[in-house]
Amino acid sequence: MQTGFSRIGFILAAAGSAVGLGNIWKFPYVTGENGGGAFVIIYLLAIAFIGLSIFIAESYIGKESRANAASGYQVISKSQSKHWRWAGFQIFAGILILSFYAFIIGWIIDYIIISISGLPTTIKEAETTFTNLITNEIGTQIFFHTLVVATMIFIALKGVKNGIERLNLILMPLLAIILFGLLIYATTLDSFSQAMSFMFSPDWSKLTVDSLLAAVGQAFFTLSLGMGIIITYSASMDKKANFIKSSVFVAIVDTAVALIAGIIIFSFLFAAGAKSVAGPGLVFISLPLIFSGWGIFGQVIAIAFFCALLFAGITSAVSLLEPSVRYLIEKFQMTRVKATFAASGFLYVLGILALLSMSADYGSMLTFFGKNLFDWMDYTTSSIALPVSGFVTCIFLGYFVDKNVLKTKFTSHTSVVIFNLWYALIRYIVPVAIALLFLNKLGVL
């Protein structure tokens, strides 16, 4: 019998899951693409009312069922209908995300090496370095992809207590120290005030429907919702733990990291006179070029920054693997060793296919209906699987679990007012908002 999380262990593990590439890589470039302050406000509202509501819901399902993400719904439903096991499709979404998340972490390792050996000095060199990595350096990508997956296997084999919890007890404080150091340096730059204004002074004219979709999608991605992670981790939570307080704390930490990362990155960009609309290449093209202009000190900053990205990525990657491992253990009575290798083997092969789909040599063979395999995997998970999973969770707790049971469980940790607010959100407001945004994304509305 595996040992569950300690109270602080659960919070760090859940925060480690939430704090990942979505905060430090994706949030800044999505904010830049959507005009800054107005998007940040919508994002904060999405976190507070949609993200946190579903996070609490998933925490409840895991804590009360003490089961994997597929079985959890069935265990606590009124009728314990076997049909609810299909709600566990989010496990597959998690492993799909991890398959390409792993080789993106590999890119980060490569950039740590580049930061040590010599950063690109021109925009053409910076673009060529990144483009060449993803289109031509197949061997390099596979090597680092293998290294990342092997690291995840090593940690997962240690179990919840000695593997996942211990990893986060080490890496989360290190991540905090690095980000704090980078933030202190950012405050010394003349561009710091410009970055603060861009992040927190809204220009509503730049807000679009796509911005609303991006904000909600970012809230799902950054809080690790709809991937089976929170349910799986909560199943190993201390039975006496306050799952509501833990959920709020994780959401605060996650949001703070995203905002701090945005302030740091935009301070760096504006200091060099660069534009905020740099897209996904912001971290791998724009920043390395900026760092190179700062000489030896720039190299030190680059190494620290990419190490922070690596630590955030690894903690999230391990959390993405655990739901599949626990499902295989409970569903098929596998040992942890067999379950870990089975899940890792699947994501490893799928990840190689995804990275090959972006390569010059194999891209055309792995492109379907105008998108390569990597783009399809990203679109299927972020635009379909995650919002659908959130919608299903809302409908499940809002209509298929006894309200009085929920009220009793919740009010042992919080007030009736807070419960009523959460229940109204989960039953009426959040599912409607998700459905409308989802249909708009698909072009139906």
Q: Looking at residues 131-153, what average pLDDT do you find? A: 96
Q: Is 368 helix (H, G, I), strand (E, B) or coil?
A: strand
pLDDT the model gives residue 280: 63
Q: Looking at residues 263-288, what average pLDDT do you find? A: 80
Q: Which residue has the tokens 């109270």?
A: 7
Which run of H or E residues covers position 371? strand 371-372
Q: How many residues does the chain have?
A: 445
Residue 289 resides in a domain: yes
Closest residue by Cα to residue 351 from 364, 334, 366, 332: 366
Task: Report the range of poorest mean pLDDT among 65-74, 183-192, 364-373.
Answer: 65-74
Q: What is the dihedral of CA 35, 36, 37, 41, to 10 degrees?
A: 90
The burial of 190, by beta-carbon neighbours within 10 Å (0-12 exposed, 13-18 middle, 19 or more buried), is given as exposed
What is the CATH number for 68?
1.10.4160
SS3 content of the chain, % helix, strand, coil (to 5): 80, 0, 20
Closest residue by Cα to residue 279 from 66, 38, 32, 112: 32
Q: At residue 241, does pLDDT exceed 90? A: no
| CB-CB contact of 288 with 111 (8 Å) | yes
Q: Is 68 helix (H, G, I), strand (E, B) or coil?
A: coil
pLDDT the model gives residue 346: 97
Alpha helix segments (H runs only) across 158-228? 159, 166-187, 192-200, 209-222
Residue 367 resides in a domain: yes
pLDDT the model gives residue 97: 93
Closest residue by Cα to residue 110 from 87, 82, 85, 133: 133
- pLDDT tens readout for residues 28-66: 888 888 888 999 999 999 999 999 999 999 999 999 999
Which run of H or E residues covers position 367? strand 367-368
Angstrom distance (rounded) from CA 437 to CA 384: 11
- pLDDT tens readout for residues 304-362: 999 999 999 998 899 999 999 999 999 899 999 999 999 999 999 999 999 999 999 99
Percent of the chain clearing pLDDT 70 (strictly above): 96
Q: Looking at residues 384-389, what average pLDDT do you find? A: 87
pLDDT the model gives residue 2: 47
Paired sense of beta strands 367-368 and 371-372, if any: antiparallel
Query: Of 216 and 324, which is predicted with more confidence?
Result: 324
Query: Of 207 and 40, which is predicted with more confidence?
Result: 40
| CB-CB contact of 222 with 18 (8 Å) | yes
| CB-CB contact of 115 with 291 (8 Å) | yes
Q: At residue 165, does pLDDT exceed 90? A: no
Q: At residue 365, does pLDDT exceed 90? A: yes
When divided into structural domains, the chain yields a total of 1
pLDDT the model gives residue 107: 96
pLDDT the model gives residue 1: 40
Angstrom distance (rounded) from CA 50 to CA 43: 10
Residue 363 resides in a domain: yes
Q: Looking at residues 88-113, what average pLDDT do you find? A: 92
| CB-CB contact of 274 with 290 (8 Å) | yes
Residue 2 resides in a domain: no
pLDDT the model gives residue 445: 61
How is residue 26 annotated by DSSP?
A: I
Angstrom distance (rounded) from CA 375 to CA 250: 29
Q: Which residue has the tokens 């997962």?
A: 156
Q: How many CB atoms lie within 10 A of CB 351?
A: 27
Confidence of residue 12 (pLDDT cuts 50, 70, 90): confident
Average confidence score pLDDT of the chain: 89
For residue 337, give its domain range. 7-441
